[in-house]
Amino acid sequence: MMIDLHGRSALVTGSTSGIGEAIARKLGDAGADVVVNGRKADRVDEVAKDLGARGITGDVGTAQGVADLLDQLPDVDILVNSAGVFGTTPVFEIEDDDWLRLFEVNVLSGVRLTRHYAPRMVARGWGRVIFVSSEAGVQTPTEMVHYGVTKSAQLALSRGTAQEVAGTGVTVNCVLPGPTLTRGVESMLAQLYPDLSDEDRERRYVAGGRASTSLLKRLIRPEEIASLVTYVASDEASATTGAALSVDGGLVPTIFP
Architecture of the domain whose range is 9-179+221-246: 3-Layer(aba) Sandwich (3.40)
Q: What is the mean pLDDT of residues 103-132?
A: 98
Do the beta carbons of residue 241 and residue 175 sit within 8 Å?
A: no
pLDDT at 254 over 90: no
pLDDT number for residue 230: 98
pLDDT number for residue 45: 98
Asked if 147 is an active-site residue, the reply is: yes
Q: How confident is the model at residue 257 (pLDDT cuts 50, 70, 90)?
A: low
pLDDT at 232 over 70: yes
Residues in contact with 74: Cβ distance below 8 Å, sequence separation at least 6, in sequence order: none
Of the candidates 244, 48, 47, 49, the residue with the CA atom closest to the CA atom of residue 132: 244
pLDDT in tens, 37-88: 999 999 999 999 999 999 999 999 999 999 999 999 999 999 999 999 998 8
Alpha carbon distances (Å) from 229 to 30, 66, 93, 99: 11, 22, 35, 28
Mean pLDDT score of the chain, rounded to an integer? 96
Range(s) within the chain of domains with CATH label 3.40.50.720: 9-179+221-246
Q: How confident is the model at residue 188 (pLDDT cuts 50, 70, 90)?
A: confident
pLDDT number for residue 210: 81
pLDDT at 234 over 80: yes
Which of the following is catalytic: 117, 147, 193, 205?
147
Q: What is the mean pLDDT of residues 7-14?
A: 98
